[in-house]
Amino acid sequence: MNKIWIIIKREYLTRVRKKSFVITTILVPFLFLGMILLPVLMMQSDDNEKVAVVDDSKFFTGKMADDGGVHYKFVNAKIDTLKNNYADFGYTGVLHIPAMDINRPGNFNYYSKGQMNVMMKSNMERKLKNVIEDLRMEEAGIDKAKLENIRTQVDIVNLTGKDEKKGSAGLALAVGYGSGFLIYMILLIFGMGVMRGVMEEKTNRVAEVMISSVKPFQLMMGKIVGIAGVGLTQFLIWIVLIVGLNLLLPLFIDPASLQSASAQGGAMGGGQSSAAMVEMMEKINFVKDNVSWSMVIFCFLFYFLGGYLFYAALFAAVGSLVNEDPNDAQSLVFPVTLPVIISIFMMFAAVRKPNGLIAIWGSMIPFTSPVVMMARIPYGVPGTVPYWQLILSMLLLIGGIVGTTWVAAKIYRTGILLYGKKITLKEVGKWLVRKN
């Protein structure tokens, strides 16, 4: 055990002291925050667009209010003249509204030096559409005020469990997707790190020296656990930095801006993912009422460590099979990475339908459970995920870790000292059934 600890310490300290570790650890939380803030800040940009409007129809004059940094100025001028020299008057573009039949509107033209941005186009089209609809209602004798009073919005409040906590489908989707995707990245990045470490020691003949002092199994476990410690350290630092940045978030953006960004995103057809992100940001200071964070964090740590140990042993075994030609790893690593890739596709189904058959089976099978189960847990335990499913998933993953470690140890102790020969999967199979 003392020898394993020495190897763990060496693997941990060697990687933690690297500049790449420090840079990545500090940079990722800021990138995460930037991914959230950048779309909102872009929507709330202070860039002002001053648009000249030539309304030959006279239907729209004074009915297009400034919005989203776009200022509309109705001018009495000939479009043929203004479209050539609008920049001289300080305008960024010219909107031409031709004379029209309100029931059969024609094309609207916008003249500018460059391509108009998508948000501005959507904003402008929405305003024109609203004016046309109002004019049609007036022509049809429909009282707009009465119509607005008739229209209503319905808001379903999801109360979960016996204590009737307020739920949030958008928040659960965002947390589930984020957790599952993060574990997916961890499995690939740190698993490949284990494989490359074993490959380097084998090709540099360092393993021969180390095997003279420790058993192959001790060397493999020391490397796996040491790199796991690096990943856990990095993850905990990320949590601290993200929470700290979250506390500073009100200095950069306020809830009113988020609401405005959400409305603009909806007008653009931003979709479910952007709405979920905005909702998560709006509720970030009282998410304890929406998600059981103690359960999410506990399960994340379990599936992070469990998934890593499950796959790291297999990646270590693959690394021990590679000889002088590193290209051999490409064909050998495919059977190991394929289940990880499949799990991310199963996760997409799980976040949308957490009680579907794909989600349930994917959260039970050890090859996919670290990613898929984490996509389901934010929807509620024991509500959406019964305790028996969670416990069974954890037990199967623990059993899978024991199984993959046994398989990897059988392969590793032979492969790490085998040089100058291209190893086939058939030969590896013989090592597994061999008794010694």
**55 part of a folded domain:** yes
Q: Which of 31-35, 61-65, 154-158, 216-220 has the highest mean pLDDT?
A: 61-65
Residue 399: what pLDDT? 93
pLDDT > 70 in the chain, percent:
75
| pLDDT tens-digit readout, 283-340 | 444 344 455 677 888 888 899 889 988 988 888 888 878 776 666 667 778 888 899 8
| 318 and 265 fall within a common domain | yes
Higher pLDDT, 82 or 247: 82
The whole-number average pLDDT for the span 270-293 is: 47
| 34 and 53 fall within a common domain | no
The whole-number average pLDDT for the span 368-376 is: 90
Q: How many domains does the chain have?
A: 2
**280 part of a folded domain:** yes
Element containing residue 51 per DSSP (H, E)? strand 49-55
Q: Which of 47-51, 100-104, 272-276, 351-355 has the highest mean pLDDT?
A: 351-355
pLDDT at 163 over 70: no
| 363 and 323 fall within a common domain | yes
Domain edge (last residue) among 100, 120, 147: 147
Give the number of C-alpha atoms closer than 13 A to the C-alpha of residue 67, restricted to the C-beta side: 17
**130 part of a folded domain:** yes
How many other C-beta atoms lie within 10 A of the C-beta of residue 14?
A: 14
**153 part of a folded domain:** no
**354 part of a folded domain:** yes
What is the spatial distance between Cα 316 and Cα 320, in angstroms, rounded to a whole number?
6
Domain edge (last residue) among 147, 179, 206: 147
Domain CATH number, residue 131: 3.40.190.10
Domain edge (last residue) among 113, 147, 181: 147
| 36 and 92 fall within a common domain | no
Q: Which of 230, 413, 387, 227 is nearest to 295 (CA)?
A: 387
b or e along 304-330 (b: 16 or more beta carbons within 10 Å of the residue's beta carbon)?
Answer: bbbbbbbbbbbbbbbbbbbbeeeebbe
The whole-number average pLDDT for the span 386-396 is: 92
What is the spatial distance between Cα 32 and Cα 23, in angstroms, rounded to a whole number?
14
Residue 370: what pLDDT? 92
Q: How confident is the model at residue 186 (pLDDT cuts 50, 70, 90)?
A: confident
pLDDT at 280 over 80: no
Residue 38: what pLDDT? 67
**158 part of a folded domain:** no
| 186 and 126 fall within a common domain | no
**193 part of a folded domain:** yes
Lowest mean pLDDT among 4-13, 82-91, 152-161, 357-366: 152-161
The whole-number average pLDDT for the span 233-239 is: 81
Domain that holds residue 105: 49-147
Q: Are 276 and 171 in contact (CB under 8 A)?
A: yes
pLDDT at 436 over 60: no
| 134 and 194 fall within a common domain | no
Residue 160 forms beta bridges with which residues? 165
pLDDT at 34 over 80: no
